[in-house]
Amino acid sequence: MFNILKNVPMWVYPLFMYLIIKGIKTLKPRVINLHQIFIFPVISICLNLQNHFSNPNLFFTSFWALFFLVGATLSWALSNKTIILADKKKKLIQLPGGFTTFILIISVFTVKFFISFKVGMNPDLANNFTFCVVRAISTGIISGAFCGKAFCYFKKYNKATHNELLISNS
């Protein structure tokens, strides 16, 4: 176990701590700039596109896209019940606290870390059918979930009435 951690690049530890801190902040209701709801979805998609461009395969990319849609649809359905507040003048949105964003953030890190670790230990896995299917399913669902939630919140923001909001410093 500790041999695994010995070979982890040093930049991974501060990134992990940053993601934990960001995730913990999502547990409480918060007011953020509207554009911030798209930060994690964009990062998640970029990480996946990097993989699809570096190892192009129409079957696995299609499979990823299918599960992206599954994740987006499920996340939209779950997020659609969420009540948000919108400050249209300052472009702020108040989001409720909850575990879903925290779980998604940690899932992206964990899946990407696990995939990179496994391929680093056994480069042939990058071409293994089962491994590629599992990777497509897991990364597709997670990326889709981020995007479904963000676009649902964006739609809710656009339909919401104006409320005066302030960004807290915590």
- Spell out the long-range contacts of 133-136 with Cβ–Cβ below 8 A and sequence spacing 24 or more: 133/60, 133/63, 135/51, 135/60, 135/111, 136/60, 136/61, 136/63, 136/64, 136/67
Is the CB of residue 40 less than 8 Å from the CB of residue 106?
no
Degrees to nearest 5, angle at CA 69 with 67 and 71: 70
Domain boundaries, the chain: 2-159
- The predicted pLDDT at position 47 comes to 81
SS3 75: helix
- The predicted pLDDT at position 152 comes to 97
In angstroms, the CA 114 to CA 109 distance is: 8
- The predicted pLDDT at position 147 comes to 96
Residue 56: its H or E element: none
- The predicted pLDDT at position 3 comes to 62
Is the CB of residue 98 less than 8 Å from the CB of residue 16?
no
- The predicted pLDDT at position 158 comes to 96
- The predicted pLDDT at position 137 comes to 94
Query: pTM of this prediction?
Result: 0.86
Per-residue pLDDT of the chain (170 residues; tens, 9 = 90+): 556 666 777 888 898 999 999 999 999 999 999 999 999 999 888 888 877 777 778 888 899 999 999 999 999 999 999 999 999 999 999 999 999 999 989 998 999 888 888 888 899 998 899 999 999 999 999 999 999 999 999 999 999 999 999 887 65
In angstroms, the CA 43 to CA 145 distance is: 13
- The predicted pLDDT at position 112 comes to 87
E-state strands within the chain? 30-33, 85-87, 92-95
- The predicted pLDDT at position 18 comes to 92
- The predicted pLDDT at position 1 comes to 52
Q: CA dist 153 to 14, 46, 76, 150, Å?
A: 29, 21, 9, 5
